[in-house]
Structure 1
Amino acid sequence: MTAETLPRVVATDLDGTLLRSDGSVSPRTRSALRAAEDAGIEVVLVTARPPRWLGFLSDVVGGHGRVVCLGGAAVWDLATEQALEVCGFADDDAQALVADLREAVPGVALALERADGPTFDRGFRTPGDDAVDVDPVDRSTVVSRVESTLDGRSTAPVGKLLARAADAGPVSGGPATRPAALADAQIPAQEQFFARVRAVVGDRAQLAYSGAAGLAELLAPTVSKDAALARWCARLGVDARDVWAFGDMPNDLPMLRWAGRSFAVANAHPDVVAAVSDRTVSNDDDGVALVLEGALAG
Protein backbone atom coordinates (compact mmCIF):
# COMPACT_ATOMS: atom_id res chain seq x y z
CA MET A 1 0.00 0.00 0.00
CA THR A 2 1.49 3.32 -1.03
CA ALA A 3 1.57 6.53 0.97
CA GLU A 4 -1.06 7.95 -1.40
CA THR A 5 -3.60 5.32 -0.28
CA LEU A 6 -3.03 5.74 3.46
CA PRO A 7 -5.65 7.70 5.39
CA ARG A 8 -4.87 11.19 6.60
CA VAL A 9 -6.97 10.69 9.74
CA VAL A 10 -7.79 7.54 11.71
CA ALA A 11 -10.81 7.96 13.98
CA THR A 12 -11.49 5.19 16.46
CA ASP A 13 -14.04 4.55 19.14
CA LEU A 14 -12.64 3.49 22.51
CA ASP A 15 -14.77 1.03 24.51
CA GLY A 16 -15.18 -2.25 22.71
CA THR A 17 -13.07 -1.06 19.78
CA LEU A 18 -9.61 0.28 20.63
CA LEU A 19 -9.64 -0.73 24.30
CA ARG A 20 -9.57 -4.34 25.37
CA SER A 21 -12.42 -5.69 27.48
CA ASP A 22 -10.52 -4.84 30.69
CA GLY A 23 -10.27 -1.21 29.58
CA SER A 24 -6.56 -1.35 28.77
CA VAL A 25 -4.62 -0.26 25.70
CA SER A 26 -2.35 -3.10 24.67
CA PRO A 27 1.36 -2.58 23.90
CA ARG A 28 0.65 -3.66 20.33
CA THR A 29 -2.04 -1.02 19.91
CA ARG A 30 0.15 1.67 21.44
CA SER A 31 2.91 0.79 19.00
CA ALA A 32 0.56 0.83 16.01
CA LEU A 33 -0.83 4.25 16.94
CA ARG A 34 2.68 5.67 17.33
CA ALA A 35 3.67 4.22 13.94
CA ALA A 36 0.59 5.77 12.32
CA GLU A 37 1.40 9.19 13.73
CA ASP A 38 5.05 8.84 12.71
CA ALA A 39 3.75 8.24 9.18
CA GLY A 40 1.84 11.53 9.28
CA ILE A 41 -1.59 10.09 10.08
CA GLU A 42 -3.51 11.97 12.76
CA VAL A 43 -5.20 9.64 15.23
CA VAL A 44 -8.37 11.00 16.80
CA LEU A 45 -10.07 9.08 19.58
CA VAL A 46 -13.87 9.31 19.45
CA THR A 47 -15.93 8.27 22.44
CA ALA A 48 -19.09 8.71 24.47
CA ARG A 49 -16.92 8.99 27.60
CA PRO A 50 -16.79 12.28 29.53
CA PRO A 51 -13.48 14.18 29.89
CA ARG A 52 -12.93 12.94 33.44
CA TRP A 53 -12.55 9.38 32.10
CA LEU A 54 -9.82 10.26 29.59
CA GLY A 55 -6.72 11.02 31.65
CA PHE A 56 -5.31 7.51 31.33
CA LEU A 57 -5.06 8.06 27.55
CA SER A 58 -2.64 10.98 27.75
CA ASP A 59 0.30 8.83 26.65
CA VAL A 60 -1.59 6.92 23.96
CA VAL A 61 -2.31 9.47 21.24
CA GLY A 62 1.12 10.98 20.69
CA GLY A 63 1.78 14.67 20.39
CA HIS A 64 -1.68 16.11 19.80
CA GLY A 65 -3.72 14.28 22.46
CA ARG A 66 -7.19 15.23 21.20
CA VAL A 67 -10.37 13.30 21.82
CA VAL A 68 -13.87 13.81 20.45
CA CYS A 69 -15.78 12.96 23.64
CA LEU A 70 -19.26 13.09 25.17
CA GLY A 71 -20.59 11.49 21.99
CA GLY A 72 -19.41 14.47 19.93
CA ALA A 73 -20.37 17.28 22.31
CA ALA A 74 -16.75 18.26 22.98
CA VAL A 75 -13.24 18.08 21.59
CA TRP A 76 -10.89 17.62 24.54
CA ASP A 77 -7.16 18.32 24.66
CA LEU A 78 -5.51 15.78 26.94
CA ALA A 79 -2.33 17.80 27.37
CA THR A 80 -4.01 20.96 28.65
CA GLU A 81 -7.13 19.26 30.07
CA GLN A 82 -9.23 21.87 28.31
CA ALA A 83 -12.14 21.74 25.90
CA LEU A 84 -11.25 23.05 22.45
CA GLU A 85 -14.86 22.90 21.27
CA VAL A 86 -18.15 22.39 23.12
CA CYS A 87 -21.71 21.93 21.84
CA GLY A 88 -24.85 20.87 23.68
CA PHE A 89 -28.09 21.87 25.36
CA ALA A 90 -28.69 25.33 26.73
CA ASP A 91 -29.86 25.21 30.35
CA ASP A 92 -33.44 26.15 29.40
CA ASP A 93 -33.66 23.32 26.87
CA ALA A 94 -32.18 20.82 29.31
CA GLN A 95 -34.58 22.00 32.01
CA ALA A 96 -37.58 21.33 29.75
CA LEU A 97 -36.33 17.84 28.87
CA VAL A 98 -35.72 16.99 32.51
CA ALA A 99 -39.20 18.12 33.53
CA ASP A 100 -40.86 16.07 30.79
CA LEU A 101 -38.79 12.96 31.58
CA ARG A 102 -39.70 13.22 35.28
CA GLU A 103 -43.40 13.30 34.41
CA ALA A 104 -43.43 10.60 31.74
CA VAL A 105 -40.93 8.08 33.16
CA PRO A 106 -41.66 7.51 36.86
CA GLY A 107 -38.59 6.90 38.99
CA VAL A 108 -36.13 7.91 36.27
CA ALA A 109 -32.71 8.96 37.60
CA LEU A 110 -30.88 11.66 35.70
CA ALA A 111 -27.35 13.00 35.29
CA LEU A 112 -25.88 15.94 33.40
CA GLU A 113 -22.47 15.88 31.76
CA ARG A 114 -20.73 19.16 31.01
CA ALA A 115 -17.16 19.54 29.78
CA ASP A 116 -16.26 21.01 33.17
CA GLY A 117 -17.83 18.18 35.18
CA PRO A 118 -20.94 16.14 35.94
CA THR A 119 -24.01 16.47 38.14
CA PHE A 120 -25.93 13.42 39.37
CA ASP A 121 -29.32 12.81 40.90
CA ARG A 122 -28.90 11.16 44.27
CA GLY A 123 -30.83 8.23 42.79
CA PHE A 124 -28.25 7.75 40.04
CA ARG A 125 -26.33 5.25 42.17
CA THR A 126 -26.27 1.81 43.68
CA PRO A 127 -29.34 1.41 45.93
CA GLY A 128 -28.45 1.83 49.60
CA ASP A 129 -25.15 3.58 48.91
CA ASP A 130 -24.54 7.30 49.36
CA ALA A 131 -21.97 7.54 46.58
CA VAL A 132 -22.54 7.64 42.85
CA ASP A 133 -21.28 4.34 41.49
CA VAL A 134 -20.19 5.32 37.99
CA ASP A 135 -16.76 6.37 39.23
CA PRO A 136 -15.23 7.95 42.36
CA VAL A 137 -16.51 11.52 41.91
CA ASP A 138 -16.60 14.39 44.35
CA ARG A 139 -19.80 14.12 46.38
CA SER A 140 -20.47 17.78 45.67
CA THR A 141 -21.56 16.65 42.19
CA VAL A 142 -24.42 14.64 43.72
CA VAL A 143 -27.55 16.72 44.25
CA SER A 144 -31.13 15.97 45.18
CA ARG A 145 -32.24 16.64 41.59
CA VAL A 146 -30.13 17.80 38.65
CA GLU A 147 -32.58 20.52 37.65
CA SER A 148 -31.36 22.52 40.65
CA THR A 149 -28.15 23.19 38.68
CA LEU A 150 -29.88 24.32 35.49
CA ASP A 151 -29.97 27.96 36.51
CA GLY A 152 -27.90 29.50 33.74
CA ARG A 153 -24.86 30.12 35.93
CA SER A 154 -22.63 27.61 34.16
CA THR A 155 -20.96 28.87 30.99
CA ALA A 156 -20.59 25.31 29.67
CA PRO A 157 -23.57 23.82 27.85
CA VAL A 158 -24.92 20.42 28.89
CA GLY A 159 -23.06 18.06 26.59
CA LYS A 160 -25.11 15.02 27.50
CA LEU A 161 -28.20 14.18 29.54
CA LEU A 162 -28.26 10.64 30.96
CA ALA A 163 -31.50 8.90 31.90
CA ARG A 164 -31.42 5.70 33.93
CA ALA A 165 -34.41 3.41 34.23
CA ALA A 166 -35.82 3.03 37.72
CA ASP A 167 -35.57 -0.78 37.58
CA ALA A 168 -32.11 -0.89 36.01
CA GLY A 169 -29.27 -2.55 37.84
CA PRO A 170 -26.34 -0.55 39.20
CA VAL A 171 -24.59 1.63 36.64
CA SER A 172 -21.21 0.08 35.99
CA GLY A 173 -18.19 1.31 34.13
CA GLY A 174 -15.58 3.93 34.83
CA PRO A 175 -12.25 5.28 33.66
CA ALA A 176 -10.80 1.86 32.86
CA THR A 177 -13.83 -0.36 32.31
CA ARG A 178 -16.47 -0.87 29.67
CA PRO A 179 -20.14 -0.54 30.71
CA ALA A 180 -21.84 -3.82 31.52
CA ALA A 181 -23.07 -5.54 28.39
CA LEU A 182 -26.79 -5.82 27.83
CA ALA A 183 -27.93 -9.39 28.44
CA ASP A 184 -30.44 -10.95 26.03
CA ALA A 185 -33.05 -11.07 28.78
CA GLN A 186 -32.72 -7.31 29.29
CA ILE A 187 -33.34 -6.34 25.67
CA PRO A 188 -37.18 -6.10 25.79
CA ALA A 189 -37.07 -3.89 28.91
CA GLN A 190 -34.34 -1.75 27.35
CA GLU A 191 -36.34 -1.28 24.16
CA GLN A 192 -39.45 -0.37 26.14
CA PHE A 193 -37.46 2.17 28.19
CA PHE A 194 -35.96 3.66 25.04
CA ALA A 195 -39.38 3.91 23.42
CA ARG A 196 -40.74 5.86 26.40
CA VAL A 197 -37.77 8.21 26.43
CA ARG A 198 -37.94 8.69 22.67
CA ALA A 199 -41.63 9.54 22.86
CA VAL A 200 -40.88 12.21 25.45
CA VAL A 201 -37.96 13.95 23.79
CA GLY A 202 -39.10 13.80 20.16
CA ASP A 203 -36.82 15.84 17.93
CA ARG A 204 -35.49 17.91 20.84
CA ALA A 205 -32.66 15.41 21.41
CA GLN A 206 -30.90 12.48 19.85
CA LEU A 207 -31.15 9.21 21.71
CA ALA A 208 -27.93 7.21 21.83
CA TYR A 209 -27.12 3.79 23.21
CA SER A 210 -23.48 2.93 23.97
CA GLY A 211 -23.97 -0.48 25.56
CA ALA A 212 -24.93 0.09 29.20
CA ALA A 213 -28.10 -1.66 30.36
CA GLY A 214 -30.96 0.61 31.42
CA LEU A 215 -29.21 3.79 30.33
CA ALA A 216 -30.33 6.27 27.66
CA GLU A 217 -27.95 9.00 26.54
CA LEU A 218 -29.46 12.20 25.15
CA LEU A 219 -27.47 14.53 22.90
CA ALA A 220 -28.47 17.87 21.44
CA PRO A 221 -29.98 17.59 17.94
CA THR A 222 -26.83 18.93 16.26
CA VAL A 223 -24.41 16.77 18.26
CA SER A 224 -23.03 13.48 16.98
CA LYS A 225 -19.68 11.78 16.59
CA ASP A 226 -19.69 12.31 12.84
CA ALA A 227 -20.54 16.02 13.08
CA ALA A 228 -17.75 16.68 15.58
CA LEU A 229 -15.28 14.61 13.59
CA ALA A 230 -16.27 16.38 10.36
CA ARG A 231 -15.73 19.80 11.96
CA TRP A 232 -12.34 18.74 13.29
CA CYS A 233 -11.27 17.29 9.95
CA ALA A 234 -12.37 20.50 8.23
CA ARG A 235 -9.97 22.39 10.49
CA LEU A 236 -7.24 20.04 9.31
CA GLY A 237 -8.25 20.37 5.66
CA VAL A 238 -9.11 16.65 5.49
CA ASP A 239 -12.02 15.28 3.43
CA ALA A 240 -14.19 12.38 4.56
CA ARG A 241 -12.70 10.17 1.84
CA ASP A 242 -9.32 10.40 3.58
CA VAL A 243 -10.66 9.21 6.95
CA TRP A 244 -10.72 5.63 8.25
CA ALA A 245 -13.11 5.04 11.15
CA PHE A 246 -13.41 2.11 13.58
CA GLY A 247 -16.35 1.24 15.84
CA ASP A 248 -18.48 -1.42 17.49
CA MET A 249 -21.83 0.01 18.66
CA PRO A 250 -24.84 1.70 17.03
CA ASN A 251 -23.78 5.11 18.37
CA ASP A 252 -20.72 4.77 16.10
CA LEU A 253 -22.81 4.38 12.94
CA PRO A 254 -23.00 8.06 11.93
CA MET A 255 -19.20 8.34 12.14
CA LEU A 256 -18.70 5.07 10.28
CA ARG A 257 -21.08 6.07 7.50
CA TRP A 258 -19.42 9.48 7.14
CA ALA A 259 -15.86 8.21 6.85
CA GLY A 260 -14.39 7.19 3.52
CA ARG A 261 -13.56 3.75 4.87
CA SER A 262 -15.16 2.09 7.88
CA PHE A 263 -14.20 -0.91 10.00
CA ALA A 264 -16.17 -3.03 12.48
CA VAL A 265 -14.33 -5.11 15.05
CA ALA A 266 -15.42 -8.76 15.24
CA ASN A 267 -17.30 -8.16 18.51
CA ALA A 268 -19.36 -5.33 17.00
CA HIS A 269 -23.14 -5.02 17.12
CA PRO A 270 -24.83 -6.67 14.09
CA ASP A 271 -26.09 -3.31 12.82
CA VAL A 272 -22.51 -2.04 12.75
CA VAL A 273 -21.19 -5.13 11.00
CA ALA A 274 -23.87 -4.72 8.33
CA ALA A 275 -23.09 -1.04 7.71
CA VAL A 276 -19.29 -0.93 7.34
CA SER A 277 -17.05 -1.32 4.31
CA ASP A 278 -14.50 -3.52 6.11
CA ARG A 279 -14.11 -5.79 9.12
CA THR A 280 -11.26 -6.64 11.44
CA VAL A 281 -10.65 -8.92 14.41
CA SER A 282 -12.00 -8.18 17.90
CA ASN A 283 -10.88 -5.49 20.31
CA ASP A 284 -9.24 -8.13 22.50
CA ASP A 285 -7.25 -9.28 19.46
CA ASP A 286 -6.13 -5.70 18.66
CA GLY A 287 -8.31 -5.25 15.58
CA VAL A 288 -7.44 -1.57 15.07
CA ALA A 289 -3.71 -2.29 15.39
CA LEU A 290 -3.97 -5.14 12.88
CA VAL A 291 -5.44 -2.84 10.21
CA LEU A 292 -2.90 -0.08 10.84
CA GLU A 293 0.03 -2.51 10.80
CA GLY A 294 -1.12 -3.94 7.48
CA ALA A 295 -1.62 -0.52 5.91
CA LEU A 296 1.75 0.79 7.02
CA ALA A 297 3.58 -2.39 6.02
CA GLY A 298 1.96 -2.41 2.59
Structure 2
Amino acid sequence: MRLIASDLDGTIIGRDGKISDRTVRAFQDAASAGVEIVFVTGRPPRWLDPLRERIGHEGKVICSNGAVMYDLAAGEVLTAQALPHRNIFAARDAILHLHPTTTFAAETTSGFLLEPGFVDSGSVELLDGITPAPLEASLAAEDAVVKFLARGKEQDPDVFLAEVHEAVSHLVSVTRSAPTEALLEMAQPGINKAVTLAEYAASLQIAPQDVVAFGDMPNDIEMLQWAGSGYAMGSGHPEAIGAARYKAPSFAEDGVAQVLEARLAELEGP
Protein backbone atom coordinates (compact mmCIF):
# COMPACT_ATOMS: atom_id res chain seq x y z
CA MET A 1 0.00 0.00 0.00
CA ARG A 2 1.69 3.18 -1.23
CA LEU A 3 -1.32 5.37 -2.00
CA ILE A 4 -4.76 5.67 -0.39
CA ALA A 5 -7.51 7.20 -2.53
CA SER A 6 -10.75 7.83 -0.67
CA ASP A 7 -14.14 9.21 -1.54
CA LEU A 8 -15.71 11.51 1.06
CA ASP A 9 -19.50 11.51 1.44
CA GLY A 10 -20.93 8.19 2.56
CA THR A 11 -17.41 6.77 2.76
CA ILE A 12 -15.69 8.81 5.49
CA ILE A 13 -18.09 11.75 5.93
CA GLY A 14 -21.59 11.22 7.30
CA ARG A 15 -24.77 13.07 6.49
CA ASP A 16 -24.04 15.31 9.48
CA GLY A 17 -20.82 16.41 7.78
CA LYS A 18 -18.62 14.77 10.41
CA ILE A 19 -15.64 12.38 10.27
CA SER A 20 -15.26 9.94 13.17
CA ASP A 21 -12.26 10.07 15.50
CA ARG A 22 -11.31 6.53 14.53
CA THR A 23 -11.24 7.44 10.84
CA VAL A 24 -9.17 10.54 11.53
CA ARG A 25 -6.63 8.47 13.47
CA ALA A 26 -6.43 5.88 10.69
CA PHE A 27 -5.58 8.48 8.06
CA GLN A 28 -3.11 10.23 10.31
CA ASP A 29 -1.41 6.91 11.12
CA ALA A 30 -1.20 6.12 7.40
CA ALA A 31 0.39 9.48 6.68
CA SER A 32 2.87 8.95 9.53
CA ALA A 33 3.76 5.58 7.99
CA GLY A 34 4.72 7.32 4.76
CA VAL A 35 1.64 6.36 2.73
CA GLU A 36 0.51 8.96 0.21
CA ILE A 37 -3.11 10.09 0.62
CA VAL A 38 -5.37 11.71 -1.93
CA PHE A 39 -9.08 12.34 -1.53
CA VAL A 40 -11.25 11.83 -4.58
CA THR A 41 -14.68 13.42 -4.40
CA GLY A 42 -17.62 14.75 -6.32
CA ARG A 43 -17.48 17.83 -4.08
CA PRO A 44 -16.20 21.16 -5.40
CA PRO A 45 -13.12 22.75 -3.82
CA ARG A 46 -15.21 25.06 -1.64
CA TRP A 47 -16.62 22.07 0.31
CA LEU A 48 -13.36 20.61 1.60
CA ASP A 49 -13.25 22.12 5.09
CA PRO A 50 -13.66 18.74 6.90
CA LEU A 51 -10.35 17.59 5.40
CA ARG A 52 -8.51 20.61 6.75
CA GLU A 53 -10.26 20.83 10.08
CA ARG A 54 -10.45 17.15 11.05
CA ILE A 55 -7.70 15.28 9.22
CA GLY A 56 -5.28 18.14 8.70
CA HIS A 57 -4.87 17.18 5.07
CA GLU A 58 -2.86 19.72 3.08
CA GLY A 59 -2.16 17.76 -0.07
CA LYS A 60 -3.95 17.27 -3.36
CA VAL A 61 -7.68 16.64 -3.71
CA ILE A 62 -9.33 15.33 -6.87
CA CYS A 63 -12.64 17.21 -7.02
CA SER A 64 -15.79 17.30 -9.16
CA ASN A 65 -15.55 13.59 -10.03
CA GLY A 66 -12.12 13.96 -11.57
CA ALA A 67 -12.62 17.21 -13.48
CA VAL A 68 -10.50 19.26 -11.04
CA MET A 69 -7.14 18.69 -9.35
CA TYR A 70 -6.94 21.00 -6.35
CA ASP A 71 -4.03 21.96 -4.08
CA LEU A 72 -5.63 22.24 -0.65
CA ALA A 73 -2.65 23.92 1.02
CA ALA A 74 -2.32 26.60 -1.64
CA GLY A 75 -6.05 26.93 -2.23
CA GLU A 76 -5.43 26.66 -5.96
CA VAL A 77 -6.96 24.81 -8.88
CA LEU A 78 -4.07 23.01 -10.57
CA THR A 79 -5.94 21.54 -13.53
CA ALA A 80 -9.53 21.68 -14.73
CA GLN A 81 -11.28 19.73 -17.48
CA ALA A 82 -14.06 22.01 -18.69
CA LEU A 83 -17.22 20.86 -20.42
CA PRO A 84 -17.91 22.73 -23.69
CA HIS A 85 -20.94 25.00 -23.40
CA ARG A 86 -22.42 23.56 -26.60
CA ASN A 87 -22.44 20.12 -24.98
CA ILE A 88 -24.12 21.52 -21.88
CA PHE A 89 -27.02 23.03 -23.76
CA ALA A 90 -27.39 20.06 -26.09
CA ALA A 91 -27.52 17.70 -23.09
CA ARG A 92 -29.97 20.03 -21.33
CA ASP A 93 -32.31 19.97 -24.33
CA ALA A 94 -32.14 16.17 -24.55
CA ILE A 95 -32.91 15.74 -20.84
CA LEU A 96 -35.81 18.20 -20.97
CA HIS A 97 -37.23 16.22 -23.88
CA LEU A 98 -37.25 13.17 -21.58
CA HIS A 99 -38.33 14.94 -18.39
CA PRO A 100 -39.62 18.51 -18.89
CA THR A 101 -39.60 19.36 -15.16
CA THR A 102 -35.86 18.74 -14.72
CA THR A 103 -33.84 21.66 -13.35
CA PHE A 104 -30.14 22.33 -13.82
CA ALA A 105 -27.04 23.82 -12.24
CA ALA A 106 -23.40 24.24 -13.19
CA GLU A 107 -20.23 24.07 -11.12
CA THR A 108 -17.52 26.31 -12.54
CA THR A 109 -13.93 26.80 -11.43
CA SER A 110 -15.02 30.03 -9.76
CA GLY A 111 -18.48 29.31 -8.36
CA PHE A 112 -21.92 27.80 -8.73
CA LEU A 113 -24.78 28.71 -11.08
CA LEU A 114 -28.27 27.37 -10.56
CA GLU A 115 -31.62 27.64 -12.22
CA PRO A 116 -34.86 28.54 -10.41
CA GLY A 117 -36.29 25.47 -8.69
CA PHE A 118 -33.01 23.56 -8.53
CA VAL A 119 -32.80 23.91 -4.73
CA ASP A 120 -35.17 24.79 -1.90
CA SER A 121 -35.42 28.43 -0.89
CA GLY A 122 -33.57 27.82 2.40
CA SER A 123 -30.56 26.12 0.86
CA VAL A 124 -26.94 26.93 1.54
CA GLU A 125 -26.44 28.09 -2.05
CA LEU A 126 -29.10 30.78 -1.72
CA LEU A 127 -27.82 31.84 1.68
CA ASP A 128 -24.42 32.34 0.09
CA GLY A 129 -25.94 34.98 -2.13
CA ILE A 130 -26.35 33.01 -5.34
CA THR A 131 -29.30 34.24 -7.39
CA PRO A 132 -31.06 31.57 -9.46
CA ALA A 133 -31.27 32.34 -13.17
CA PRO A 134 -31.60 30.39 -16.43
CA LEU A 135 -28.21 29.11 -17.54
CA GLU A 136 -28.54 30.95 -20.84
CA ALA A 137 -28.46 34.19 -18.86
CA SER A 138 -25.98 33.31 -16.10
CA LEU A 139 -23.37 31.23 -17.92
CA ALA A 140 -20.73 33.59 -19.29
CA ALA A 141 -18.51 32.67 -22.22
CA GLU A 142 -15.43 32.53 -20.01
CA ASP A 143 -16.98 30.29 -17.34
CA ALA A 144 -15.21 26.92 -17.19
CA VAL A 145 -17.91 24.38 -16.27
CA VAL A 146 -16.42 21.33 -14.56
CA LYS A 147 -19.70 19.72 -13.49
CA PHE A 148 -23.19 20.04 -14.95
CA LEU A 149 -26.03 18.88 -12.72
CA ALA A 150 -29.58 17.78 -13.47
CA ARG A 151 -32.19 17.29 -10.75
CA GLY A 152 -35.26 15.22 -11.46
CA LYS A 153 -38.49 15.77 -9.59
CA GLU A 154 -39.93 12.36 -8.81
CA GLN A 155 -37.84 9.92 -10.85
CA ASP A 156 -36.21 6.83 -9.46
CA PRO A 157 -32.52 7.82 -9.23
CA ASP A 158 -31.17 4.73 -11.00
CA VAL A 159 -33.81 4.81 -13.74
CA PHE A 160 -33.15 8.53 -14.26
CA LEU A 161 -29.43 7.82 -14.64
CA ALA A 162 -30.01 5.01 -17.14
CA GLU A 163 -32.40 7.06 -19.27
CA VAL A 164 -30.22 10.15 -19.34
CA HIS A 165 -27.05 8.18 -19.99
CA GLU A 166 -28.58 6.61 -23.06
CA ALA A 167 -29.68 10.01 -24.37
CA VAL A 168 -26.56 12.12 -23.71
CA SER A 169 -23.52 9.86 -23.33
CA HIS A 170 -22.16 11.14 -26.65
CA LEU A 171 -22.15 14.67 -25.18
CA VAL A 172 -21.17 14.20 -21.53
CA SER A 173 -20.14 11.57 -19.03
CA VAL A 174 -23.00 10.93 -16.58
CA THR A 175 -22.96 9.54 -13.04
CA ARG A 176 -24.58 10.01 -9.65
CA SER A 177 -23.44 10.19 -6.03
CA ALA A 178 -26.53 11.28 -4.07
CA PRO A 179 -27.90 8.21 -2.24
CA THR A 180 -31.61 8.95 -2.52
CA GLU A 181 -32.05 11.90 -4.90
CA ALA A 182 -32.52 11.87 -8.66
CA LEU A 183 -29.49 14.11 -9.05
CA LEU A 184 -27.12 13.50 -11.95
CA GLU A 185 -23.57 14.80 -12.33
CA MET A 186 -22.13 15.34 -15.79
CA ALA A 187 -18.64 16.19 -17.01
CA GLN A 188 -16.50 16.22 -20.10
CA PRO A 189 -16.73 12.87 -21.94
CA GLY A 190 -14.10 10.45 -20.69
CA ILE A 191 -13.60 12.20 -17.37
CA ASN A 192 -14.17 10.29 -14.13
CA LYS A 193 -12.41 9.76 -10.82
CA ALA A 194 -10.24 6.92 -12.13
CA VAL A 195 -8.79 8.90 -15.03
CA THR A 196 -7.45 11.70 -12.85
CA LEU A 197 -6.39 9.35 -10.07
CA ALA A 198 -4.39 7.26 -12.56
CA GLU A 199 -2.59 10.39 -13.78
CA TYR A 200 -1.83 11.45 -10.22
CA ALA A 201 -0.53 8.00 -9.24
CA ALA A 202 1.66 7.90 -12.34
CA SER A 203 3.15 11.28 -11.41
CA LEU A 204 4.26 9.68 -8.14
CA GLN A 205 5.46 6.53 -9.93
CA ILE A 206 2.88 4.47 -8.05
CA ALA A 207 1.34 1.51 -9.87
CA PRO A 208 -2.37 0.62 -9.62
CA GLN A 209 -1.60 -2.52 -7.60
CA ASP A 210 -0.14 -0.31 -4.85
CA VAL A 211 -3.31 1.79 -4.55
CA VAL A 212 -6.06 1.18 -1.99
CA ALA A 213 -9.29 3.00 -2.91
CA PHE A 214 -12.60 3.46 -1.09
CA GLY A 215 -16.00 4.53 -2.38
CA ASP A 216 -19.72 3.93 -2.07
CA MET A 217 -21.64 5.18 -5.11
CA PRO A 218 -21.79 4.80 -8.92
CA ASN A 219 -19.40 7.74 -9.39
CA ASP A 220 -16.75 5.63 -7.60
CA ILE A 221 -17.05 2.52 -9.77
CA GLU A 222 -14.25 3.29 -12.26
CA MET A 223 -11.89 4.22 -9.43
CA LEU A 224 -12.66 1.05 -7.48
CA GLN A 225 -12.06 -1.05 -10.58
CA TRP A 226 -8.80 0.71 -11.48
CA ALA A 227 -7.17 0.44 -8.05
CA GLY A 228 -5.37 -2.75 -7.16
CA SER A 229 -7.41 -2.90 -3.95
CA GLY A 230 -10.77 -1.23 -4.49
CA TYR A 231 -13.12 -1.36 -1.50
CA ALA A 232 -16.81 -0.55 -1.78
CA MET A 233 -18.49 0.35 1.48
CA GLY A 234 -20.83 -2.31 2.80
CA SER A 235 -23.42 0.46 3.13
CA GLY A 236 -22.87 1.58 -0.45
CA HIS A 237 -24.84 1.35 -3.67
CA PRO A 238 -25.30 -2.23 -4.98
CA GLU A 239 -23.60 -1.35 -8.27
CA ALA A 240 -20.51 -0.08 -6.47
CA ILE A 241 -20.39 -3.19 -4.29
CA GLY A 242 -20.79 -5.41 -7.34
CA ALA A 243 -18.01 -3.64 -9.25
CA ALA A 244 -15.36 -3.59 -6.50
CA ARG A 245 -12.88 -6.37 -5.75
CA TYR A 246 -13.41 -6.01 -2.02
CA LYS A 247 -16.11 -4.89 0.39
CA ALA A 248 -15.32 -2.81 3.46
CA PRO A 249 -17.54 -2.78 6.54
CA SER A 250 -20.29 -0.16 6.46
CA PHE A 251 -19.80 3.54 7.03
CA ALA A 252 -21.51 3.27 10.43
CA GLU A 253 -18.90 0.68 11.43
CA ASP A 254 -15.97 2.94 10.45
CA GLY A 255 -15.31 0.60 7.54
CA VAL A 256 -12.49 2.64 6.02
CA ALA A 257 -10.71 2.87 9.36
CA GLN A 258 -11.03 -0.88 9.89
CA VAL A 259 -9.42 -1.64 6.53
CA LEU A 260 -6.64 0.89 7.00
CA GLU A 261 -5.84 -0.36 10.49
CA ALA A 262 -5.48 -3.91 9.15
CA ARG A 263 -3.41 -2.76 6.17
CA LEU A 264 -1.09 -0.71 8.37
CA ALA A 265 -0.63 -3.66 10.72
CA GLU A 266 0.49 -5.73 7.72
CA LEU A 267 3.02 -3.04 6.76
CA GLU A 268 4.45 -3.00 10.25
CA GLY A 269 4.82 -6.77 10.31
CA PRO A 270 5.14 -9.01 13.38
- Deviation, 1:202, is 3.1
Judged with a 3 Å threshold, the aligned counterparts in structure 2 of structure 1 residues 277 and 200 are, in CA distance, closer, same or farther, namely closer
- Deviation, 1:74, is 0.6
The within-5 A match list for 1:239-250 is 239-250=207-218
The within-5 A match list for 1:1-298 is 7-62=1-56, 64-126=58-120, 129=121, 133=123, 135=125, 137-139=127-129, 141-154=130-143, 157-165=144-152, 167-168=153-154, 189-210=156-177, 211-298=179-266
CA RMSD of aligned residues (A): 2.1
CA distance in 1 between counterparts of 2:169 and 2:242 reads 27
Q: Residue type matched to 1:20 in 2?
A: G
Judged with a 3 Å threshold, the aligned counterparts in structure 2 of structure 1 residues 146 and 212 are, in CA distance, closer, same or farther, namely farther
Judged with a 3 Å threshold, the aligned counterparts in structure 2 of structure 1 residues 296 and 199 are, in CA distance, closer, same or farther, namely closer
- Partner SS, residue 159 of structure 1: strand
- Partner SS, residue 11 of structure 2: helix
- Deviation, 1:272, is 2.2
- Partner SS, residue 20 of structure 1: coil
Equivalenced residue count is: 265
Judged with a 3 Å threshold, the aligned counterparts in structure 2 of structure 1 residues 48 and 212 are, in CA distance, closer, same or farther, namely farther
Greater length-normalized contact order (CA 8 Å, ≥ 6 residues apart): 1
Report if the CA contact (8 A) 1:21-1:283 is conserved: no
- Partner residue of 1:3? none
CA distance in 1 between counterparts of 2:113 and 2:15 reads 27
- Deviation, 1:239, is 1.2
CA distance in 1 between counterparts of 2:166 and 2:231 reads 32
Any idea what the Cα deviations from partners look like across 1:80-139, whole Å, max 9, x if unmatched?
Answer: 22111111302233233234434443121100011221100022122xx3x5x2545533
Q: Residue type matched to 1:259 in 2?
A: A
Judged with a 3 Å threshold, the aligned counterparts in structure 2 of structure 1 residues 282 and 193 are, in CA distance, closer, same or farther, namely closer
Unaligned runs of 5+ in 1: 1-6, 169-185
Q: Residue type matched to 2:182 in 1?
A: G
Q: Residue type matched to 1:138 in 2?
A: D
Taking structure 2 as the reference length, the TM-score comes to 0.89
- Deviation, 1:192, is 4.2
- Deviation, 1:212, is 4.1
CA distance in 1 between counterparts of 2:109 and 2:132 reads 18
Judged with a 3 Å threshold, the aligned counterparts in structure 2 of structure 1 residues 103 and 63 are, in CA distance, closer, same or farther, namely closer
- Deviation, 1:161, is 0.7
CA distance in 2 between counterparts of 1:23 and 1:63 reads 16
CA distance in 2 between counterparts of 1:194 and 1:40 reads 39
- Deviation, 1:49, is 1.2
Report if the CA contact (8 A) 2:61-2:71 is conserved: yes
- Partner SS, residue 142 of structure 1: coil
- Partner SS, residue 111 of structure 1: strand
Report if the CA contact (8 A) 2:30-2:260 is conserved: yes
- Deviation, 1:270, is 2.1
- Partner residue of 1:176? none
Taking structure 1 as the reference length, the TM-score comes to 0.81
CA distance in 1 between counterparts of 2:94 and 2:168 reads 8
- Partner SS, residue 204 of structure 1: coil
Judged with a 3 Å threshold, the aligned counterparts in structure 2 of structure 1 residues 215 and 85 are, in CA distance, closer, same or farther, namely same
